[in-house]
Amino acid sequence: MISGGLLRWRALRLQASTAQDVLGLRTDAWTAAGYFRCDVRNQSSSEQAYADGVTVRRQFEIRARWPQVAAIGLTELDRVSVDGRTLKVQSIINLDGADRVAVIQCEQVT
C-alpha cells in the first residue's frame, strides 16, 4: 500500500477527445475528467534536438492508489496535469497485480 502522507499532489485526468476532423483524425482537445491524489517523482531529464531547435524531455513516475486511478478510467491515451505540468501517459502498471498501487510512467516535452 502507498502511504497517505506521500499522496501530496492532486492530479487531473485530461481525457482525449473522441471527435474526429474531416480527415478522420482525432481532434487535439482535452477534457477534465476527474482528480486523484498522487506522488510525483522526476526520473530523468535530457536535452534533445527537436524540430528546428532543442527541447528538454523529462520522465516522471506517478504513484497513486489503484482504486482511484481505475475509478476515473485513466488510460494511456490521456494526459495528466499535476503541479502545473501536463504529462503524456506512457504506461500504467498495477504494481505486483495487487490492485493497491498504480505506477504511471509519464513524459513532459518542453
Domain membership of residue 46 as a residue range: 4-109
The more confidently predicted of residues 30 and 10 is: 10
**Over the stretch 18-49, which tens digit does the pLDDT of each residue have?**
778 788 887 778 889 999 999 999 999 999 88
C-alpha cell at 85: 505540468
Contact present, 88 and 51 (Cβ < 8 Å): no
**Over the stretch 44-103, which tens digit does the pLDDT of each residue have?**
999 988 888 898 999 999 999 999 999 999 999 999 999 999 999 999 999 999 999 999
Contact present, 43 and 96 (Cβ < 8 Å): no
What CATH code is carried by the domain that includes residue 72?
A: 2.40.10.270
If one counts the domains in the chain, the total is: 1
